[in-house]
Chains A and B, each alone.
Chain A
Amino acid sequence: MTALLSIQGVTKRFGGVAALNEVSFDVGEGEILGVIGPNGAGKTTLLNCVSGVYRPDAGSITFDGHSIAGEPPHRIARLGVGRTFQVVKPFASMTARENAAVGALFGASQLALSRAFAAADEVLEMVGMAGKASLPVASLTIPDRKRLEVARALATRPRLLLLDEVMAGLNPVEVDEALEMVRTVHRSGVTIVLIEHVMRVVVGVCRRVVVLHFGQTLAEGTPDGVLRDARVIEAYLGEKYARRLVGG
C-alpha cells in the first residue's frame, strides 16, 4: 500500500505549549485510519495542519506527492483533501442541497453550476440525507448537520477525507447510522482519517489506529492492539487503572 498522506515530524506550538510534537505517520491509499487520544492530545490541531488551517512550525506533510505543509486551505482542498469540523460549520442561510452544491463547485470537483446540484443530490444520498435535501440548515438536527458536513466535504470529490469527531454527541443508534455512512463513503473509494473519541467507532471501522497523547504519537497499530497497550490505557484512564487492567 502506497502512502497517500505522509506526516513527518510535524510540530505545532501555541506560545510555549507544543500541541503537536514531532508527530509522524503515513496513511495508505484506501485505508481508514483512526486517530484517537484524550482531550487536548492534539488530534484537531493535527487535522488543522493537514487541511491548511494551521501552518506547522516544523515537519513535512506530503499528500499524493505534493508538499502541503503551510499551503493555504483552498489549495489543499483542490488537491483532493476534504475535511469536516468537529463543531459543524454549515452555510446557515442555505438548504442542505445548496450546501453540498457549493462543495461541488470547489475543491477537487470544480463542477460547473449546471451540474453542481446533481452532484449534491448524489452525495446527500450517500450520507443518507436525500429526503432532507430541500430543508434549510436551521431545521436540521445535530446528527443531520454532521451528515451534511460530510456531504459538503464529499461533494468536493476528495481522495482523502478527514473526519473530525463526526460521532461526538450522537446516541448509540445514531452512532451506528454514522458508522454505516463512513463505511459507505469508504467503499466509494475515499481514504479516510477518522478522529474519534468514541472507542466503539474506531474498533468498528478502522484496521489501524494512531494514538496521540500530549501532542506525541503514543502508539500505533490495530485497534485491539493499541487498546491493550498499557501506555494507552494509562493515558486514558490513569496509571492505577492501567496497572490493574493489564496486570502490571
Chain B
Amino acid sequence: MPPPSSETILVERPRLLDRRRLRRLLVLLLVLGAVLVLLAPLTATDQADSLGAPQLVDRSQIRILTTVAMFVVMASAWNLVGGLTGYSSFGNVAFFGLGAYTCAVAVDAHRLHLPMAAAIALAPLVPAAFAALVGLPLLRLRGHYFAIATLGTAVAVGEVVKNVDYLGGATGLFPPILHRADLLFLYLMVGAALLAVLVSRLILRSRFGYGLIAIRENEEAAGVIGVNTTMYKVGAFAVAAALTGLAGGLFALWNSFINQELGFSLDFNIQMILMAVLGGAGTLFGPVLGAIVLELLIQNLAGRSDVAVYAQIGLGLLLAVTVIFVPRGIVAFFGGGSRLSVAHLRRSLRETGV
C-alpha cells in the first residue's frame, strides 16, 4: 500500500489529471453557487418588490450569508499562519477587534469622523502594524507556547480596549446605522472573502509560500537554505492580521455597534481555527469550505432553541471525528489525502483487484 499522499496544495502531483479535474469541478461549483447566492439577495430590494419579482431570500438569510463570508475571510487568514506556516495562533481575534475598533473610531462623529471608505481602508492597516510589532517577539515561540502567548495577547488587547474611554470603554462604540445597507455589506464582505482567497492563492504559488511551508516543515533547515524565517513569519502574521482586520472593520460598520465582547469574542477566535482545520489547514479551499459548512451548521442548528443543545454536542463530535480520521480536513478527504477518503478507497479497491 502506498503511503497516504501528504501533499499540500502547492506541491506537484503524481495524479495530476485526477486532482486537477476535481479541483476544476470544485471551483466551478463554488463559483456557480456563489453567483446564485449573490444574485438572490437582489430580489429582496424595493426595486424588485415594485417589479413584483418573487423574494428568494429574506433579511435573515442575507445576514447569514454575510456572516459566512466574514468567517471565510477569518479562516483563510488564520490558515496563512496556522496552516501554512505551522504556527497555531489562538489570538487572531485581536486583529478582528482592532480592525473593528479602527473603523468604529474612524467613522465616529466625535472622533476621527472620516468617510466610510477611508475607515475601511484603515481597518487592515492598524491590525497589520500591531501584528508586525507583537509578531517579532511572539513568533520566536513555538507550539503550545505560541498558542498561549497569542491567546494572552488577544485577551489583553481586549481588556485594554475596554478600559480606554476614547474607545467607548465598557459601553463600546456605535457607528452610524446605514439604512437598507444589508446588501451593501453582504457584497463588501463577499468582496473581502474573495480578496482573502486571492491573496492566499498568490501566496501559495509564490516563493513566499514555499518559504512559509519550509518553515512549517523544519524551521532550522529553512533558515540554512536561505529563508529569512523571521521576516517570513512576521510577514505572514501581518497579512493574516490585515485580512482579519478588514473583516472586523466591515463587521463593526455593518453591526453599527462594537464592544469588547463582540470585537474580541473568544467564540469567533475558536471558530475560525475550527473552520480552517475542519476544511483543511494548509490548503487554499479548505478554510473556505470549513467556514461555509461550519457557519451554516451553527446558524441553522445552534441558533434554534429546540435543538441547540444537541447541535453543540453534534458539532463537538463532528470535530473530534474529523481531527481523528481526516486530520487534513474536508479537502483532503475528497482529494485523496486521507485513509477514509473516496479517492483512497477507490485506489485500494483497484489495487486489490476488486
Residues of A within 8 A of B (CB): 51-53, 72-74, 76-78, 82-83, 85, 89-95, 97-98, 101-103, 105-108, 113, 117, 134, 136, 138-139, 152-153, 155-156
Residues 210-253 of B, flagged 1 when their CB comes within 8 A of A and 0 if not, give 11011001101101111111100000000000000000000000
- Chain B residues with a Cβ closer than 8 Å to the other chain, count: 28
CA distance A93 to B217 in the complex (A): 7
Question: Does chain A have a CB within 8 A of B312?
Answer: no
A106-B226 CB under 8 A given contacts A97-B12, A138-B3: yes
Additional 20 contacts, C-beta under 8 A, given A72-B223, A73-B226: A52-B224, A53-B223, A73-B223, A74-B227, A76-B224, A77-B225, A85-B220, A89-B220, A90-B218, A91-B217, A91-B218, A92-B217, A93-B6, A93-B217, A94-B7, A94-B217, A103-B225, A134-B12, A136-B5, A153-B225
With A77-B226, A91-B217, A139-B3 as known contacts, state yes or no: A106 contacts B11, CB within 8 Å.
no
**Pairs A-B, 4 closest by C-beta atoms:** A77-B226, A106-B226, A91-B217, A107-B226
- B213 and A91 contact, CB distance less than 8 A: yes
Asked if residues A83 and B224 are in contact (CB atoms below 8 Å), the reply is yes
- Interface presence of B206 (CB below 8 A): yes
**Is B347 close to A, CB under 8 A?**
no
Residue contacts A-B, CB under 8 angstroms, 12 given: A78-B226, A85-B220, A93-B11, A93-B217, A94-B217, A95-B7, A95-B11, A102-B214, A105-B207, A105-B211, A107-B226, A153-B224
Chain A hits for B206, CB < 8 A: 113
Kindly state whether residue B45 has any CB partner on chain A within 8 Å. no
Contacting residues, chain B, for A72 (C-beta < 8 A) = 223, 228, 230
**B205 contacts which of A89, A113, A153 (Cβ < 8 Å)?**
A113
Q: How far is the CB of B202 from chain A (nearest CB, A)?
A: 12
Given contacts A53-B220, A85-B221, A107-B225, contact A91 B214 (CB under 8 A): yes
Residues of chain A within 8 A of B225, CB atoms compared: 77, 82, 102-103, 106-107, 152-153, 155-156
Q: 8 Å CB contacts to A: which residues of B45-104? A: none
- Please state if B223 and A98 are interface contacts (CB–CB under 8 Å): no
CB-CB under 8 A from B224, the residues of chain A are: 51-53, 73-74, 76-77, 82-83, 153
User: Within the assembled complex, what's the spacing in Å between the Cα atoms of A91 and B84?
Assistant: 13
Main SS of chain B's interface residues?
loop
- B:1-34 near A, CB below 8 Å: 2-3, 5-8, 11-12, 14
- With a cutoff of 8 Å between Cβ atoms, the chain B residues found around residue A152 in the complex are 221, 225
Q: Which of B3, B12, B213, B218 has the most CB of A within 10 A?
A: B12
Residues facing A in B125-180 (CB within 8 A) are none
Complex: chain B residue closest to A80, CB-CB: B226
Chain B: CB-nearest residue to A81:
B224
Q: Smallest CB-CB separation from B14: which chain A residue?
A: A134
Residues in chain B near residue A153, CB distance under 8 A: 224-225
Q: List chain A residues, Cβ under 8 A from B211.
A: 102, 105-106
Q: How far is the CA of A108 from the CA of B226 in the complex (A)?
A: 8
Contacts of A138 in B (CB 8 A): 3, 6
Question: Considering only CB atoms, which chain A residue lies closest to B219 in the complex?
Answer: A89
Q: What's the least CB distance linking A148 to chain B, in Å?
A: 11
> A93-B7, A136-B3 in contact; A106/B227 too (CB < 8 A)?
yes
Q: Which residues of A contact B218 (CB under 8 A)?
A: 89-92
Shortest Cβ distance from residue B230 to the other chain A in the assembled complex, whole angstroms: 8
- Tell me whether A113 and B207 are in contact (CB under 8 A): yes
Give A106's nearest chain B residue, CB to CB: B226
Between B217, B225, B229, the greatest number of chain A beta carbons within 10 A of the residue's beta carbon is seen for B225
Complex interface: chain A residues within 8 A of B3 (CB): 136, 138-139
Question: Are B12 and A98 in contact, with the CB atoms below 8 A?
Answer: yes
Q: What residues of chain B lie closer than 8 Å to A52, measured between beta carbons?
A: 223-224
For B213, the closest partner residue in chain A by CB is A91
